[in-house]
Copies of this chain bind each other. A is one copy, B any other.
């Protein structure tokens, strides 16, 4: 603590892990590729959960819980699914001291288990739609891991729905993508591009995958949430059938969608700076820290009284903490809470008291520019407004940054330069070989084919063939 993080310009990757460890969001676990989410990081995740869960329930979903262990034979039932996931599985072979007859897979995702249960629960069109979400841990055996972004075990929510028609399932897929867009924008203050994944990047077993893509502080892309239209693939593999209104047996249409603790990494990388974390007020575990400043004992008593009064005024509406520790100086505390990304600091010293005011200091605007004096008797209204302003400004700043680093290259030479420095928005033929060649040349992938784009035609930025859609290309996490 109170040591400096590595500057971003020096080593972005090191900056990232420094911030996470020094702000005590997470720590490395003794098992390779695993992490411990520490209380400060978990409080952030709890706020993310609350924001998502509220939106899921408002769109008619309910939560449930399915088993961690999946019989190996289940994973093998959907051909593309097994191909995609089998290299990443953790497998239980011993239970209660005995070798198991059928090994159990630790869920990497739950389409198969949930498909099996839906087949049991769904009989008639009257049972549809089924709109279930699960909050759970999942395990994928990853070789190259990074705190929050890619870990062997991670926490997420996975929604799994079943519908009577393709149209309804497709609507659901896009509705949940919208929920992710709205959450990222409104709560995480992260601008995202909703789009369709290329065939190559489609989820193992899906017909069509959609994602939201965000630009990190190093101009790289991060997929921050996905929503899959699964067609009848899992319904056929698991026999999810229902009697329709004409009494005919039909396969159901299913979807799945997920957002994970990866979102914490996105928040760190989109908003953080060389002082450390910068947290959006709506998700910050602490929104306001109050720091008393005093020298003499007589000052101390008066200052502390004012500090506690401010805390009492804010407490019902704002996540506030007083840092009254004796063993640290105010300057040390400023650094500490800046590193931890608390959006707003309130300083109260003898001079403030005499003037009946407090000093507010914004985390996102360094130096004198981010400070202002407010009357003590109006502190709640001022804090409320300041937090709202910070929330909006963080979003706007991230959007400006992304726009400044998004290019529309005119030829492949410009394209290569573009993806070295940010996103390229380019016509693309849609061919997988072409995509693979671009990846070899530039390390960039198709992040997504944005849903919102002007209709038209162009020439593929790489192969020059006719193209009817534009894609976002970038180097992705």
Contact = CB atoms under 8 A, between A and B. Distances in A.
A367 interface: no
A349 to B, nearest CB: 25
Interface string A172-214: 0000000000000000000000000000000000000000000
Contact of A153 (B37, B68, B88, B93): B68
A43 B29 contact: no
B93 A89 contact: no
Contact of A39 (B62, B86, B136, B327): B62
| Interface SS of A by simple majority | mixed
Contact of A62 (B35, B43, B64, B327): B43
A87 to B, nearest CB: 6
A96 B104 contact: no
Given A62-B43, A64-B42, A117-B27, A34 B69 contact: yes
A162 to B, nearest CB: 13
State the oligomeric state as a number of copies: 2
Interface stretch (A137-145, A331-339, A370-378, A453-461): A137-145
A90 B92 contact: yes
A65 interface: yes
A97 interface: yes
A91 interface: yes
A95 B141 contact: yes
Contacts of A41: 64
A81 interface: no
Contact of A95 (B91, B104, B137): B91
Contact of A67 (B36, B38, B87, B121): B36
A93 B94 CA distance: 8
A26 to B, nearest CB: 9
A284 interface: no
7 contacts: A29-B66, A29-B113, A45-B65, A68-B137, A69-B139, A88-B96, A92-B93
